[in-house]
Structure 1
Amino acid sequence: MNLQHFQRFQSIYASVLLCAYVLINNTVNATTQIMEAQREGALTFSMWEPFVWEYSSALSALLIFPILIWFLRHLPFNWQNITTSLGRYFGASIIFSVLHVGIMVGVRKFIYLLNDGSYNFGLSWFELIYEYQKDAISFVFFIVLIKVYQYVVQQLLGEASSIEESELQTTSTINRLLVKKLGKEFIIKIEDVDWLESSGNYVNLHIGSRIYPLRATLTALSKQLEVQGFCRIHRSHGVKLDKVESITPLPSGDSEIKLTTGKVLNLSRRYKEQFKLQLK
């Protein structure tokens, strides 16, 4: 249950951790600026200003973060064509910096305006280059952070992939899966799978008490595995027909399917006719 819960809400957990890190880091930066100014006896700003400076920068970075994730997903770094990838990522870092500075300055001007003040960013080529240097470091840091997080999650979940290294298409057949988990690799057979469960961006393959996450959709995987005796029975579940032990009709029009493992699943009215046809 912990695995399924984490799969379903891992984006939320990742967002909370990222926001917590940024909040703590920028709070420390703001308080450090105040302490250094007080120590030098040169406190030329109000106590709230460093927090506005730091939090506006943090808010800007957080707003851009989903765009960065999209960029990495659709344009991954190609080590076979390093020159093109470096140019592409350099351009992305410039866009990242422009967006970051633009949002950050806009937020600061708005907050200063609410406090009957004005904020002057001091726009100049020197300032833009200075900001880009900082943003370029943040750009690389965020990419490393995303990749490390994805690697750790993949190792903990033990993500499965087709041993034939074929894409999930309805015309291809999967017989065995390679599972990598905590530094180990082992093979599972599709024929041993009892039932399928949709969980976020994954489909959990249940074999007895063990769970193997496969990055796929239940719709695509169910169609792909029909020839191997699998059937969709619910918007979130699919079963291996050979594993069905009994079917119990319910007053609601749905049914309960009991597997040979003792697991009980719901057979939705929507999939009942399809289930009967495949069972025959």
Structure 2
Amino acid sequence: MSGSGFSALDWTEEEDRLGFFGPGSVTWRVHADPVYSIGGLRALLLQALHPVAMDGVARNSVFREEPWQRLTNTAAFVDTLTFGTRREALRVVRRVRGVHRRLGGTEETTGRSYRVDDPDLLLWVHCAQVDSLLDVARRAGVVDDEEADRYVAEQVTAAELIGVDAADVPDSVAALADYFARVRPQLAVTPAARDAWRFVVVPPMPRWVQVLTPARPAWGSLASLAVATLPPWARRLASLPGLAVTDAAATAALRAFRTGLLALPDRARLSPIVRAGLERTAA
């Protein structure tokens, strides 16, 4: 593990308890907010537009066979990285990086041979996630402009943990926008990306779940919001019919969604990992 501060020898017990971000961070506020779930789906959609990164997912994960398992694993990884102790965060990071070192392939549309842990691919996944979580948080009124810059800067640590050189990671909203301007010519909707978008928008569900529960319409609402909050250039690139909506309408729907979920108790809307982090640092 490279980078300063990423060894237990460098921490006090208090720093370990607070994790890499801590309860005073913008990161905790963004990742514990109800709109985080929308941002997570938006991130998956955006990440799929990089042909090589998407090929890595399609070829080397359980995405096709067990898509719900992959979603659950990804959510648990980000939650632990954010709300776990430093030791817990490093444990999951080392496990994931160990798996990534063994995976790779050749993406057909570009002809590029790659490893899953190539720095530019890790950076793309990181930036798509940061942009997505931040966009929905700003729309919903969770953070202001100054806090938005703080969030991007805080997330440089997350990128370092997964193996990206800090010097290459955007550390402000402006730097993040510049990154996307540079990378956009590389993006495309490959067949693997189309499959991923189809799963996010209309995921497979057992028939009894669709008939006896509100899961299908509820998920449809979440997915529609995720698509609607994507950058206009991403929506045009994907050309999904029937999901066009104005930014103002998307923002209003997002705020209404947040208001509804904030009325629920923490146990109903926060994962066990997030609750554990909040309880551990409550003092």
Give TM-score, length-normalised by structure 1.
Answer: 0.24
Give TM-score, length-normalised by structure 2.
Answer: 0.24
Which is richer in strand?
1
